[in-house]
Amino acid sequence: MDSTTTTANSKWVTIAIGAGIAFAVYKFAPGNHVKGAALGVLGMIVARQIPYVNTALAA
């Protein structure tokens, strides 16, 4: 396994952990406002992976 593969795997593990936490909050939160916030966080996690959106968010 080379360092490029390890770096890519590490990136996906980080994304999966963040998405898993956000989904768990969405699934088990009692209030709709908390569920909406969790979906917003999930949307940002996904948006950070799209190159065009990532550069727009960085500006």
Q: What is the DSSP string of the chain?
A: --HHHHHHHHHHHHHHHHHHHHHHHHHH-SSHHHHHHHHHHHHHHHHTTSHHHHHHHH-
Burial (CB count <10 Å: 0-12, 13-18, 19+), residue 26: middle
**Residue 34 pLDDT:** 95
4-50 pLDDT, tens digit each: 677 778 888 888 999 999 999 999 999 999 999 999 999 998 888 88
**Residue 47 pLDDT:** 85
Give the residue extent of every domain in the chain. 3-58
